[in-house]
Structure 1
């Protein structure tokens, strides 16, 4: 009996930490939504539900996993970051995503923003110029079962004309000027959220296309990584 008791204790101890960590991340996720999102005035329930569901820790490098739900951006390699949770929520809510929407994302990064969108819309088309990041994000999204996210390596400035027009466009890196190709690929009635400006001096803008005209409003001062352009010719 004593031997069996020792074995049982060993089994519980060996599996306990992993179970505890999963439960702890779930608790951190819920606390993030309450303290970082809702308390700052974002209350769209569909967006909050997506934030509660998507495991942010799966999109964060191992060395930063313990910080997955902190109120700040985190490095993901190649001088890129995964955005602060509040910014992800703010930009997502600004798009007013609908279940039938097709959304273009410029700057896949870790894939976390794409996963949030995938919970809310029909299809997500995401472009990342840094190939290793694109491949890693695509692998993570596939592993987590997101079949409605399409990732490609390319110059996001050019958009994805083969699948345009889009109901909404979200840009997670900052060009110095608004790319005309993205405006052209926005559907009538669509919305685009994009940071614009030089490094460390940017403004988040919301564009709405109404009756063939663009309405622009500045919504928030922000600090995003700069948009990287491709020098390749004839990129598809």
Structure 2
């Protein structure tokens, strides 16, 4: 079952026309996105309110878009592939590291029981929280803070998604995963090959990590600490 939210009247003028929306969904399907609940969320969450106003007419295009603080909103298909790899369901508690605009947060909130999103740029966190409030998203919270220094008392999560490149997977982040939990993040390609790829990470029976490659990516490396100046 998917969560349904009321759409505020003021978003009516932001809704792309049917032709652009159809092309947006067709592109996602052509790129291999198959989960129907995820496609429904992508259809109903208006990406145009998660980008700077001057780029609103490009929001349903298959491209990345710039955000404040030198950050980037990834291409829709990449956001969708990461969420599809995460496989959230309505019983799951999800931790997101790197809120950005809040677009993926809104998608995850439609597919999960609860979402906690951590953003190191205070201005981005404030803006993302306002966008979620505009859409009346009641099961997601955005917190300004360091995603690499989370207190253990925040509890366990069924799923963790990291919106960036993890050169090393922090043990304290893995410690927040519940039983049978999994983590999705960009990771360096193994061996001497350059580049990065989205990977699904799980613990195996001997306590090590298994990584399943999903698709190539070009995400920024995540940095520790809080960017208070921004």
TM-score when normalising by structure 2: 0.85
Matched positions, count: 213
RMSD: 2.3
Counterpart residue number, 1:157: 148
* Distance (Å, rounded) in 1 between the aligned partners of 2:67 and 2:151: 24
**Structure 2: gaps of 5 or more residues:** 1-9
Alignment of 1:86-165 (within 5 A): 86-159=77-150, 161-165=152-156
- 1:221/1:160 CA distance change after superposition, 3 Å: farther
- Indicate yes or no: 2:70 matched with 1:76: no
- 1:149/1:82 CA distance change after superposition, 3 Å: same
- 1:30/1:211 CA distance change after superposition, 3 Å: farther
Greater helix fraction, Structure 1 or Structure 2: 1
- 1:174/1:159 CA distance change after superposition, 3 Å: farther
Q: Deviations over 1:12-46 (max 9, x none)?
A: xxxxxx999545345423321112x1112211111
Counterpart residue number, 2:167: 176
**Structure 1: gaps of 5 or more residues:** 1-17
* Distance (Å, rounded) in 1 between the aligned partners of 2:118 and 2:75: 20
Q: Report runs of 4+ in structure 1 exceeding 4 Å deviation.
A: 18-23
Counterpart residue number, 2:158: 167
Counterpart residue number, 1:31: 23
- 8 Å contact kept, 2:15–2:46: no
* Distance (Å, rounded) in 2 between the aligned partners of 1:193 and 1:201: 17
* Distance (Å, rounded) in 1 between the aligned partners of 2:195 and 2:98: 19
Q: Secondary structure at the match of 2:62?
A: coil
Higher relative contact order (CA 8 A, sep 6+): 2
- 1:19/1:167 CA distance change after superposition, 3 Å: closer
